[in-house]
Structure 1
Amino acid sequence: MFDIFFAGMALIILFPLLLLVALFIRLESKGPVLYYSLRTGTGFKIFRFYKFRSMYINADQKVKDLMHLNQYNNEEKKEQFNQVNPVLCETCAQTGKCQYPIYADGAKWCEKDEVYLHSQKNGSAFFKITNDPRITKVGNFIRNTSIDELPQLWNVIKGDMSIVGNRPLPIYEAEKLTTDKSVLRFAAPAGLTGLWQVEKRGKGKMSEEERLMLDNTYARNQSFTNDIKLILKTIPAIFQKESV
């Protein structure tokens, strides 16, 4: 009940801000204001995860351009990949259709495009592009201030997420976290904010091991009191320059 009450009040209070953000997104670039992707939450439950759009609508094509550059030194794999299917990533091409779709106003693209080369190289479960050229100016601002996450208040009202918890992961990341040392994170609620966002935001890059350790720490020590403390710490953390 606390989560639903908190999310409902937040949506009412922030409604003017949400309208303003939506307006700026539409003014800067064509495309929908919101998009959703499939995420994995508590107990590996899969749900639609909402965000403000922070990228250009042709972001998938920009990724393919970056993928081409990154594969410069591996001509054989590049040729094989392009011949299989120039639209789908290699994993999706094996089945003939996209396995990791993102949706927005009827448009669909593959969420795994941006991580294909990285996962082929080192198999990391977490991935993030620095200075991503697909991100709009408005998108950069709403990402750095976490405003792009506000539509997830609707996820909280629907019961998909809690206000505090471990971040819900894309399916391709969750698939790599099924070992004994990592599966504990999925025992905790999926949250809008959490321990690693508060502890590490603005402190530079965070390793995969650090993030997983903090996720497991939250799962072991979850309590209403700790959640209130994290909510209070989230507000100043938002104003840190760099997001983790």
Structure 2
Amino acid sequence: MDTTIQTTKEQTEEKLPIKVILVEQDNKAVVDFLKRFGEKIHVKVMDSPENCLEYLKSTYPPDAIIISKNSGGLKFLETIRQQAWTRTLPVVITSDNITQGLIKEIHDKGGDDVYPKDFSSGDLITRLNYFIKRRHYKAMQQTKASIMDVKIPFWKRFIDVTTTGLALLLLSPLLLIVAILIKLDSKGPVIYLSKRVGAGYKIFSIYKFRTMRTDADQMIKNMGSLNMYTKASDTPKQAMGLCDTCTSIGTCQQQLYLDGEIVCEKMYLSEKKDKVAFMKFQNDPRITKLGKFLRNTSIDELPQLFNIFLGDMSLVGNRPLPLYEAEKLTTDEYIERFAGPGGLTGLWQVTKRGKGKKDMTEEERIQLDIEYARNFSFKYDMKIFFMTFPALFQSENV
């Protein structure tokens, strides 16, 4: 197998824990594996390839899959390489008897590595970290070449124009009724325009029915502590605006002039790093009474059909982000999410974690966006589209 990228011990330790699915029917082999690697990686054990495939359809992808040849590993490998959402997942095959013929067969089917069933030879942890690094490296090479020139396939644009054109025609009475109700419910315009960043980092105005008070943008400045994605890291020392070193001395040793005030540069950089990219609030006080209903039924997003019809975004894709969120995702680690088409609904909205549920972390949301950007296809889009309908009604008020 390919060994062109080496991983040092320090890099290996830094990237743990590694998330692995182990597909094995032999209980003794499972116990031996957990004894050997259980403290070094996060392991989910599946008893059959079929259960593993079902699990992968509705959950956040692991870093690698390890499957026994005796458990149907070769057939599983063929299947997983044909699926858009699992095509790039690293797969390791284990076997009681490793031959040159078996190694060649696994390589030809797209397998990443072969190990004895008892892992008596080879450094699995180093290899798993290599797979993670290789996958990210390949993705970034492709992304950097095309991130600012995302082309929408003809089939995708055709679906967008025909479906949204028909939908706007059929929904025009509903759109008119909602517009009247918004006017009666609160003061302000019917349509809310917001600058968003879509595919290829293109900036455009997105259309939504107004669900918030007209002073919502001013209120958000005082709502940072209510953000569901905010890290609970504020301490008395942070409140003082001093880092640990400066606190022990009692005065700032590394001053920074910012907006006419003197702040501790170390603390400023630390807080800037800790700021989250996404903002979402539970029981948001900025939302109007009618707005809560419009949001919970996703009716507020219907005007975005005009954005899709005009080509600003697509039916299925990664949600276009507000400018303040998008600017935090411009590093190599996250920029890849903008290599995929922008969309009204997407992968993270229809996973079993659900739209806006508490166990959907910011990192998981970004990684699911990246997963879609890497693997979107007609079949994948259809799968997401038809999974959207059960997810329209949110389980909590966010």
Alignment TM-score > 0.5, same fold? yes
Q: Which runs of 5+ in 2 are unaligned?
A: 1-157, 228-235, 242-257, 260-270
Q: Confirm or deny: 8 A CA contact 2:336 2:373 kept in the other structure.
A: yes
Selected match of 2:190 from 19, 33, 37:
33
Could you say which residue in structure 1 is the equivalent of 2:377?
223
* SS of match in other structure, 1:135: coil
Q: Which amino acid aligns with 1:155?
A: N
Aligned mates of 2:187, 2:288 — CA distance in 1: 11
Figure out how many residues of one structure are paired with residues of the other and give that number. 204
Q: 1:68 to 1:218 in 2, by over 3 A?
A: closer
Could you say which residue in structure 2 is the equivalent of 1:178?
330
Q: Which amino acid aligns with 2:391?
A: A
Q: Cα deviations across residues 128-179 of structure 1 (Å, max 9, x unaligned)? A: 1221111011111111111111111100111110000000011111111112
Could you say which residue in structure 1 is the equivalent of 2:211?
54
Q: 1:197 to 1:68 in 2, by over 3 A?
A: closer
Alignment identity in percent? 58
Could you say which residue in structure 1 is the equivalent of 2:298?
146
Higher helix proportion: 1
Q: Confirm or deny: 8 A CA contact 2:283 2:397 kept in the other structure.
A: no
Aligned mates of 1:146, 1:203 — CA distance in 2: 13
Aligned mates of 2:327, 2:222 — CA distance in 1: 26
* Residue 7, structure 1, aligned to residue 178, structure 2: no
Could you say which residue in structure 2 is the equivalent of 1:239?
393
State the shift of 1:184 in Å: 1.2
Q: Which runs of 5+ in 1 are unaligned?
A: 77-92, 95-118
Q: 1:43 to 1:26 in 2, by over 3 A?
A: same
Q: 1:61 to 1:175 in 2, by over 3 A?
A: closer
* SS of match in other structure, 2:173: helix
Q: Confirm or deny: 8 A CA contact 1:202 1:242 kept in the other structure.
A: no
Q: Confirm or deny: 8 A CA contact 1:202 1:243 kept in the other structure.
A: no
Q: TM-score, normalised by structure 1?
A: 0.75
Rg larger in 1 or in 2?
Answer: 2
Q: Confirm or deny: 8 A CA contact 2:188 2:214 kept in the other structure.
A: yes
Aligned mates of 1:240, 1:55 — CA distance in 2: 18
Q: Confirm or deny: 8 A CA contact 2:357 2:395 kept in the other structure.
A: no
Could you say which residue in structure 2 is the equivalent of 1:201?
354
CA RMSD across the alignment: 2.8
Q: Cα deviations across residues 72-120 of structure 1 (Å, max 9, x unaligned)? A: x9598xxxxxxxxxxxxxxxx96xxxxxxxxxxxxxxxxxxxxxxxx85
Could you say which residue in structure 1 is the equivalent of 2:262?
none
- Relative contact order, higher structure (CA 8 A, sep 6+): 1
Aligned mates of 1:65, 1:171 — CA distance in 2: 19
Q: Confirm or deny: 8 A CA contact 2:298 2:392 kept in the other structure.
A: yes
Q: TM-score, normalised by structure 2?
A: 0.47
Q: Confirm or deny: 8 A CA contact 1:38 1:170 kept in the other structure.
A: yes
Q: Which amino acid aligns with 2:390?
A: P
Q: 1:217 to 1:243 in 2, by over 3 A?
A: farther
